[in-house]
Amino acid sequence: NAGVTQTPKFQVLKTGQSMTLQCAQDMNHNSMYWYRQDPGMGLRLIYYSASEGTTDKGEVPNGYNVSRLNKREFSLRLESAAPSQTSVYFCASSGGWAGRNTEAFFGQGTRLTVV
Amino acid sequence: QQQVKQSPQSLIVQKGGISIINCAYENTAFDYFPWYQQFPGKGPALLIAIRPDVSEKKEGRFTISFNKSAKQFSLHIMDSQPGDSATYFCAASTGGGNKLTFGTGTQLKVEL
């Protein structure tokens, strides 16, 4: 079982460039999430998708867009990268949403540097 | 505004000792409190979780203590081992689901 797979693992962008981070899960989970991890700040939620066809903003959505392509895939797009978006990005998925707390599984992360 | 405050930022413990990490929260609607363990270069992985209807949960060497009135919860690692050296995050969420609010993390080092 692959779990949650993120691509790419590393990326360097120039300021103003765009890119899409890909995430896929093979656990048939309903909910998917994008977090960013910065030193001393823990993980902060960027966007989430409670179920296929729905997306909502998290704590730090500015500068990002997402697409829930199907039940398996949830992508994160940076339209015009800024140095402040240098971070490690994690995708996660969990089985349930309404009324149930279920374990969230995380991918290996994408280390993004914007120069 | 940080809804989940975690301390200490870093911790060094001798092998066999007890590691204690503390978290405090503000939102009384939180009803699920997991702890995640993260090794360098890896994603966080669920270690143990508790709901506010119990005051303690133990799984092997790992114990969560929960104090609802004080809005605090802590992770105790008994008989700490070098393999426990990692970053630990507390988290909280509300009303079902896993839109998690994380603490800032504690870097634990267990020395021989």
- The DSSP string of A3-16 is -EEEE-SEEEE-TT
Mean pLDDT of A92-109: 78
Kind and range of the H or E run holding B58: strand B56-59
Q: Which long-range contacts (CB under 8 A, 24 or more apart) does A80-84 make?
A: A80/A16, A80/A17, A80/A18, A81/A13, A81/A14, A81/A15, A81/A16, A81/A17, A81/A18, A81/A19, A81/A112, A81/A114, A82/A15, A82/A114, A83/A15, A83/A114, A83/A115, A84/A114
- Of the candidates B54, B9, B18, B19, the residue with the CA atom closest to the CA atom of residue B33: B54
- pLDDT the model gives residue B97: 58
Write out chain B residues lying below 8 Å of A108, CB-based. 41-43
Q: Which residue has the higher pLDDT, A75 or A40?
A: A75
The values of phi and psi at residue B9, to 5°, are: -75, -35
Write out chain A residues lying below 8 Å of B34, CB-based. 103-104
Write out chain B residues lying below 8 Å of A106, CB-based. 43-45
- pLDDT the model gives residue B6: 97
Write out chain A residues lying below 8 Å of B93, CB-based. 101
B6 reaches A (C-beta below 8 A): yes
Contact B43 A98 (CB under 8 A): no
Average pLDDT, chain A: 92
Q: Work out the pLDDT band at A102, boundaries 50, 70, 90.
A: confident
State pLDDT tens for residues B74-94. 999 999 999 999 999 999 988
Mean pLDDT of A23-45: 93
Which of A30, A43, A88 to mutate to probe the B interface, most B CBs <10 Å?
A: A43
- pLDDT the model gives residue A2: 79
Average pLDDT, chain B: 93
State pLDDT tens for residues A45-66. 999 998 888 999 999 999 999 9
CB proximity under 8 Å: B 19-38 to A:
31-32, 34
Contact A101 B49 (CB under 8 A): yes
Q: Work out the pLDDT band at B54, boundaries 50, 70, 90.
A: very high
Residue B104 has pLDDT above 80, yes or no: yes
Q: Work out the pLDDT band at A99, boundaries 50, 70, 90.
A: very low
